[in-house]
Chain A
Amino acid sequence: MTLRTIDDQIADHPFFAGLGSDFLHFIAGCGRNRYVEGGEYLAHEGDDANAFFLIRIGKISIETNVPGRGPVVLETFGAGDIAGWSWICPPYKWAFDVVAREAASFIEINGLCLRGKCEADPVLGYAVLKRFAGMMSERLRDTRLRLLDLYGNDRKRS
């Protein structure tokens, strides 16, 4: 059995599809494999955001605590998804909790490390930022669709 390196795993992840091997190697240098059990927190709202997660197996959720209601699940992500962009923009604080819904394996990329590499190499920085901008754009579109509350019974008259 061949041991797959983090370079290989990142190259296979849909988020980084098409990125050159040099860049993948740079990014992999900031990554480590992690495994967590269901219920474990990957990040807490308000803490320093120094990482993002490339999910390989399992399911994680973005949550927030609503007084009187308890934790509310805002969105769930599974294999092939990515979670975490607070590491890119000041003030570099997690906006929400990140929780494993079930046992999950993922690659954790150190945001401080990658930010440093992106600052030093703007071509790498632009390539990384383009991918995050695309992902943010998709999430914003999805969030707007949910804001419409399309399944709500807004035509109800009686």
Chain B
Amino acid sequence: MDFELSEDEGALARALRSICANRFPLESLRSRELQPDTVDRESWRELAEAGVFSLRTSEDGGGLGLGAAAVSVVFEELGRALVPGPLVASELAASIIGMTGGTEGNAGSPLPAGGPLPAGGPLPAGGLLAGQVRAGVALVGQIHLGDSWERAGGSFPGSGRGRDGILVEHLASLDALVVVSERCLQVVDPRVVDAEPVDRSLDPLTPLWRVARLPEGEEVGGPEHSRRWRSEEVLLGAALCVGVAAATLDMAVAYAMQRRQFGRPVGSFQAVKHICADMLVRVEESRCALHAAALAIDQPGVGDPVRSVAGAALLATRAALACSKACIQVHGGMGFTWEIPAHLYLARSRVLASAMPGAGELEEVVASRL
């Protein structure tokens, strides 16, 4: 048993952090605030080259054949750097299509399996892996992840809506829109979707479209694929949340050291340092929970994957929401200005949380698996 990052995992995290620093520095992200397309194709391709969209696809399928642990490490970095765009959906589209049962993570996974999907369908695997195709997601209705989840009186819901009047992120940047419902996975051509851009989105880096009605698309997977999609989406969302929480902790600490009042750094006051200590606890707890959940998927027998994914999602969402607020508090009045990027993390934490099942549902899932 060695629950520290392996050398490869550490290298992967460092590589991603350096790509994010070079390719997605805050200044360049901020130049795209409130625009309809917040991520350029070249940067996206660079993420693809770094393996972001091919991590879980088997080597036979042209991917790296890694497990959920590697993805969670990578997505924490993407969350930390506030990288915008349909990251989770593009990774899932690639890995669920490329899934030929060859990887450690996918083969013996206790989560809903789902078999290989037809290559050369409406979602070209090669294009997704190479970052030439960007896939987004629209979740419709409820997705039940397992019997016990239903018995608990809750299910892992999506938006809880039908096909009418839903919000889709990054629509103008998409080459494919995956519609996930309990019954199936469908792929819709985003150009034929009848949608109105939302005038202003809460997150300046996550533009939204109000879709009047989703057209029927081409079916590319059944209920098992939908469940698999939803459970992995929750795990990757949790990883992004941990990254957001960790970034706000770093930001708050840096500011608390530098900002002086009463002739000394505000970080020397216990009232301020205790806020930071509580942020640290949330980050450490949720990161450990995330990694344990990923390993419960990768390494059958080490834990209950459903319970641990739900628990990690609960703690990570809470950490992102609470830490991004605390970060603004530590920044004082400056934290309330547009100029200081603390509000971008605040907004992103809400975007991420909104894609997750609610806290109550996650708690029900954990309780039902006790």
Q: Is B one of A's binding partners?
A: no
Seen from chain B, the residues whose Cβ lies within 8 Å of a Cβ on chain A are: none
